[in-house]
Amino acid sequence: MRVHILVLALLLMAAPAWAQPITRLATQAGSGTLTATTTSIVVNVGGMAAARIQTLDTYSGVWEVQCSVDGGTTYDTDDELALTLDGQTDVAYSVTDLVGIWTVNVAGCTHIKINANSGFSATDTTVKVLALSTGGGGGGGGSAGTVSISQTGDANAVDVLTIAAGNNNIGDVDVASIAAGDNNIGNVDVASIAAGTANIGNIDVQGDVGGTPTVITAATEGSFTGLHTILIDPVTNAAVVYGGACTPVNYVSDGTDEVEIKSSAGYLDSFSVFGINTAVAYVRIYDDDAADVDENDTPKYTFPIPLNSTATNGAGSVHSFPGGMSFANGITIRINEGIAINSTTAVDGATVTASWCYR
């Protein structure tokens, strides 16, 4: 048996006393077929409230509806959504071989999955699903005295003109201004925030800012030059500066195979190496200080020092790490002949020269 599912989702707007009521509804739609091999159909119902599910013709199989609140990545397979058959008050969490129309609450779900548990191999039956903007307990909150809203051309976009003082929990909106008070805001574009207490959480910093942090104080505020990244420490609320220039180092091999670049956490911005050795050598970089590094450790980064066909002419390579390669415990290198990680054969003295820049 094959089950074809068509899903149409309409945005639910609850019925608080809006200053300017919004009447245009957004829709989302999806369709699919359930068979013995195609056992589920996923529908995006973000912001919707309830769905109506109708089975047509007879069929032999068991189906249920599962909810996801994380964008369709994970579905709750232990607590399926409750289904209420028209004309009945009892709820069911799965349906077997039954022709009818059911209502299911999808409020709070970003996606739903209509899942075939068993059957659907012997007959050919169509099932249609329609998500409506009524029922399900979606939406709510607010009053004409606390929120003024105007609708733009996009039914999914709501411009908030003003938010009165008080506790206001807002989703994805464009904010023109926020009056004084406690305002908890989610995903917003903020034009201006009036005087008061405004708490904005979950700020993602893209990339690794690097560098050693320095707290801005009256004594240090005039000492920063060049490009820096300024963040607010979430624990101390102090303004912290990251960035600044890296420290360059020149090195010539001396017959030993281990060099400590930094004994604590830091960043490696670049590494260049040139060799006139008679064999290919390898630079291995470790996330630790020299006291704790030996040939039994696993390097964080490895690259070879090529061998020129005429050794005295030499060969080398240059490596750059935009933003800096980060190290939590220290930065130590080993330069050895032999491709094996545990090689302990150091290159001869004065056969390898290297330069690196670290923070």
Strands 228-232 and 197-200: unpaired
> Of 76, 102, 132, which closes a domain?
132
**Biggest distance spanned by C-alpha atoms of the chain:** 92
Percent of the chain at pLDDT above 90?
23
* DSSP conformational letter for 299: P
Angle at 264 between CA 263 and CA 266, to 5 degrees: 115
Instruction: Give residue 248's identity as a one-letter amino acid code.
Output: P
- 267 with 174, same domain: the answer is no
**Residue 126: predicted pLDDT:** 73
The mean pLDDT value for 64-78 works out to: 90
- 174 with 269, same domain: the answer is no
**Residue 149: predicted pLDDT:** 40
Range with the lowest mean pLDDT among 72-76, 208-212, 250-254, 305-309? 208-212
- Comparison of pLDDT for 120 and 156, the residue scoring more: 120
Q: Is residue 207 part of a domain?
A: no
Range with the lowest mean pLDDT among 47-56, 70-79, 204-213? 204-213
- 41 with 72, same domain: the answer is yes
In the structure, what pLDDT confidence band is assigned to residue 308 with cuts at 50, 70 and 90? confident
In the structure, what pLDDT confidence band is assigned to residue 323 with cuts at 50, 70 and 90? confident
- 239 with 263, same domain: the answer is no
| In the predicted structure, residue 251 carries a pLDDT above the cut 90 | yes
Q: Is residue 53 part of a domain?
A: yes
**Residue 302: predicted pLDDT:** 94
The mean pLDDT value for 90-107 works out to: 87
The mean pLDDT value for 120-139 works out to: 63
Domain interval for residue 230:
214-243
- 252 with 236, same domain: the answer is no
**Residue 157: predicted pLDDT:** 45
**Residue 42: predicted pLDDT:** 85
**Residue 311: predicted pLDDT:** 67
> Of 86, 101, 132, which closes a domain?
132
- 170 with 288, same domain: the answer is no
**Residue 172: predicted pLDDT:** 55
**Residue 108: predicted pLDDT:** 85
Range with the lowest mean pLDDT among 13-27, 93-107, 177-191, 317-331? 13-27
- 31 with 98, same domain: the answer is yes
Q: Is residue 288 part of a domain?
A: yes
Strands 188-190 and 173-175: parallel
The mean pLDDT value for 219-240 works out to: 56
- 176 with 128, same domain: the answer is no
Q: Is residue 43 part of a domain?
A: yes
- Comparison of pLDDT for 110 and 147, the residue scoring more: 110
- 232 with 195, same domain: the answer is no
Query: What mean pLDDT is reported for the chain?
Result: 73
Q: Is residue 142 part of a domain?
A: no
CATH number for position 339: 2.60.120
- 340 with 262, same domain: the answer is yes
Q: Is residue 65 part of a domain?
A: yes
The pTM (predicted TM-score) of the whole model is 0.37
**Residue 272: predicted pLDDT:** 94
Q: Is residue 323 part of a domain?
A: yes
State the Cα–Cα distance between residues 119 and 121, nearest whole angstrom: 6
State the Cα–Cα distance between residues 317 and 319, nearest whole angstrom: 7
In total, how many domains does the chain have?
4
Q: Is residue 45 part of a domain?
A: yes
Strands 91-92 and 83-85: antiparallel
CB crowding 271-293: b at 16 or more within 10 Å, else e: bebbbbbeeebbbbbbbbbbeeb
Q: 3-state class of 271 per DSSP?
A: strand
- 26 with 124, same domain: the answer is yes
**Which string of DSSP letters, residue by residue, matches 32-75?**
EEE-SS--EEEEE-TTB-EEEEEE-S---EEEEEEEESSSSS--
| In the predicted structure, residue 342 carries a pLDDT above the cut 50 | yes
| In the predicted structure, residue 97 carries a pLDDT above the cut 80 | yes
- 226 with 274, same domain: the answer is no
